[in-house]
């Protein structure tokens, strides 16, 4: 994950050391970034932070896959997640759902609808949202991050499903993936056969993963924590 995991605003704890580690292991390790950001904002992050050169980019919360810094799209992934995705119908229906408001046009993508939620948005509201869409036979994946940002994706899309797709496509066992995150929209790429890292500055919605013995919670935040987790899994 990018924001809150590799970097956080002006903070880049351990980023230069992580970049050095990736460069030292480039013949044996593929490096990928999985972000809630769209392509344009991910591009900006590379300029702002001088991030390690990526082999793979998963953008817009797992609804887009690209390769290399040239952002070459994966049409196979687009075909896979387009199944039963009714974007216009979902947007139209949600005009009648209380407590949410569409984010700016720049936040919207072909395979992602993004909303802000009211401060009072609760677990009951989330349950009502699931039922509201289910009653209308509108299948999608719902992600709530930091109880502020609500993303709706095709039900086959997510960061975790994108990782599993890459595992299948490139014939790399899931056990050979190490993932790192800090918030709710990272949850499904941290669990399963994957080796998961949760950095010390994680959001409360990941607290319950501490019960999972296959996920490592780091002492350090951000990239410094990512490096700590890599050392835990590789030493």
23 forms beta bridges with: none
Q: What pLDDT is recorded for position 28?
A: 94
The dihedral over CA atoms of 178, 180, 185, 187, expressed in degrees to the nearest 10, equals 60
151 forms beta bridges with: 114, 143
11 forms beta bridges with: 8
Nearest CA among 157, 146, 152 for reference residue 103 = 152
- Cα 166 from Cα 57, distance rounded (Å): 11
Phi, psi of 15 (to 5 degrees): -65, -45
DSSP 8-state code for residue 109 = B
Confidence of residue 69 (pLDDT cuts 50, 70, 90): confident
Question: Residues 6 or more apart from 192 whose CB is under 8 A from it?
Answer: 160, 164, 174
114 forms beta bridges with: 151
- Would the CA dihedral through 167, 73, 2, 231 be positive or negative? positive
Residue 115 has pLDDT above 90, yes or no: yes
What predicted TM-score, i.e. pTM, was given to this entire model?
Answer: 0.91
Q: What is the DSSP string of 198-209?
A: E-TT--GGGGGG
Residue 147 has pLDDT above 90, yes or no: no
Nearest CA among 156, 100, 96 for reference residue 132 = 96
Residue 141 has pLDDT above 90, yes or no: yes
Residue 207 has pLDDT above 90, yes or no: yes
Q: Which residue has the higher pLDDT, 94 or 148?
A: 94
Mind listing the pLDDT tens digit for each residue in 12-49? 999 999 999 999 999 999 999 999 899 999 989 988 99
Question: 227, 21 in Cβ contact below 8 A?
Answer: yes
91-97, long-range: CB < 8 A, 24+ apart: 93/132, 93/133, 93/136, 93/138, 97/129, 97/132
């Amino acid at each position: 994950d990018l924001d809150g995991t590799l970097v956080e605003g002006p903070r880049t704890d351990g980023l230069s050391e992580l970049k050095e580690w990736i460069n030292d292991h480039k013949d044996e390790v593929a490096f990928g970034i999985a972000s809630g950001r769209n392509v344009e904002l991910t591009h900006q992050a590379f300029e702002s932070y001088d991030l390690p050169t990526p082999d793979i980019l998963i953008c817009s919360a797992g609804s887009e896959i690209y390769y290399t810094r040239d952002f070459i799209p994966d049409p196979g992934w687009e075909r896979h997640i387009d199944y039963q995705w009714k974007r216009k119908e979902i947007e139209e229906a949600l005009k009648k759902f209380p407590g949410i408001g569409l984010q700016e046009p720049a936040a919207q993508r072909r395979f992602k609808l993004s909303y802000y939620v009211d401060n009072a948005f609760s677990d009951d509201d989330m349950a009502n949202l699931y039922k509201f869409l289910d009653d209308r036979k509108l299948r999608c994946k719902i992600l709530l991050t930091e109880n502020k940002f609500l993303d709706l994706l095709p039900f086959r899309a997510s960061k975790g499903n994108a990782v599993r797709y890459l595992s299948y496509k490139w014939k790399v066992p899931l056990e050979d993936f190490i993932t790192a995150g800090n918030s709710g929209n990272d949850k499904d790429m941290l669990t399963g056969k994957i080796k998961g890292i949760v950095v010390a500055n994680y959001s409360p919605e990941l607290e319950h993963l501490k019960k999972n013995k296959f996920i490592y919670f780091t002492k350090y935040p951000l990239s410094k924590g990512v490096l700590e987790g890599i050392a835990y899994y590789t030493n």
